[in-house]
Amino acid sequence: VTAENEMKWDTVEPSRGNFNFGPGDQIANQAASHGQKLRGHTLVWHSQLPGWVQSISDANTLRSVMNNHITQTMAHYRGKVYAWDVVNEAFADGSTQHRPPVFQNVLGNGFIEEAFRTARSADGSAKLCYNDYNIEDWNAAKTQGVYSMVRDFKSRGVPIDCVGFQGHFGSGGPPSSFQTTLSNFAALGVDVQITELDIAGAPTTGYTNAVRACMNVSRCTGITVWGVRDTDSWRASSTPLLFDGNGNKKPAYFAVLSALGG
Ligand code: XIL
């Protein structure tokens, strides 16, 4: 289970030092009472970031605000969240570089490393993940940028345990190199997961290919769909999920079940 919005910064710390865990707790409690594993999403992200953080221009202030947010949130969910998206979507589209606002601009290149080190201190048991979209195609610049970062982190002992591939696909499903991408990252010594899967039109072939890519890589440890019913999807008009608006199973549901081995 992943909270779609309830553990994001604008909900969790709407003003400096005022933490609001109520909405996230509802999901955490629901997951716990059903024996479901919970992914934490997300600690450091440029989007759904409150204005008071976006307007910080002093590095020391932003560093302490970022580290405090990570520390408090992870402490609250310690033992309840098994894996955290510590940093989400930090790389720019079509590029090997970080996107500018606000953490990169104010803190510079080291902000991702700092976030992961802080996260390890805050919860030594949770798996620490980097999560992004458009990093499924091995030949994409963004994929190569993230791969270089993970390789560098592993070589220098910066704590990172997993990479999340969001998997928001068009009707063609995953790129043909997706399994190669998953296995190349896994070979660096991290788990890989599909964290936010949805595919425009929910084609059975696209879903089958996505699930197979993960099943074929032993360190691929999770597949999460980004919503249950089409009508609740953030891409509702693309009907990208496994259940229709009435909760009926779609053909993609049966394709996924079969790809999982029935
Ligand atoms: C989306 C939610 O599904 C929407 O409800 C919200 O309005 C915007 O965010 N990448 C992510 C997710 O990491 O957090 C985003 O979720 C979808 C893209």
**pTM, rounded to two decimals:** 0.98
- Distance between alpha carbon 221 and the CA centroid of its chain, in Å? 13
Measure 156 CA to ligand 1 centroid, in angstroms.
Answer: 32
The predicted pLDDT at position 72 comes to 98
Catalytic residues: 89, 196
Separation between Cα atoms, residue 184 and residue 164, nearest integer Å: 14
Angle between helix axes 111-122 and 141-156 (nearest 10 degrees) is 50
CA nearest neighbour of 181 among 195, 197, 192, 168 = 192
Q: State the pLDDT at residue 67.
A: 98
22 alpha carbon – ligand 1 mean position (Å): 19
CA of 5 from ligand 1 middle (Å) equals 7
Tokens of 261: 């081995």
State residue 83's pLDDT score: 98
CB 182 within 8 A of CB 165: yes
88 lines ligand 1 (CB under 6 A): yes
3-state secondary structure of 43: strand
Q: Using a 6 Å cutoff on CB, does residue 47 contact ligand 1?
A: no
Q: What angle do CA 136, 165, 2 make, to 5 degrees?
A: 155
Distance CA 230, CA 119 (A): 34
Cβ–ligand 1 distance for 134 under 6 Å, the answer: no
Residue to mutate (ligand 1; options 7, 91, 93, 196; most atoms within 8 A of CB): 196
Contacts of 240 (CB under 8 A, 6+ apart): 198, 199, 200, 201, 202, 230, 233
Quote the pLDDT of residue 74: 99
The H or E element spanning position 205 is: helix 204-215
> Which atom of ligand 1 is nearest the CA belonging to 41?
14
At position 23, the amino acid (one-letter code) is P
Ligand 1 centroid–CA 187 distance in Å is 29
The pair of three-digit structure tokens given for residue 187, joined into one six-digit string: 């070979």
**pLDDT of the chain, 262 residues: tens digit per residue:** 999 999 999 999 999 999 999 999 999 999 999 999 999 999 999 999 999 999 999 999 999 999 999 999 999 999 999 999 999 999 999 999 999 999 999 999 999 999 999 999 999 999 999 999 999 999 999 999 999 999 999 999 999 999 999 999 999 999 999 999 999 999 999 999 999 999 999 999 999 999 999 999 999 999 999 999 999 999 999 999 999 999 999 999 999 999 999 9
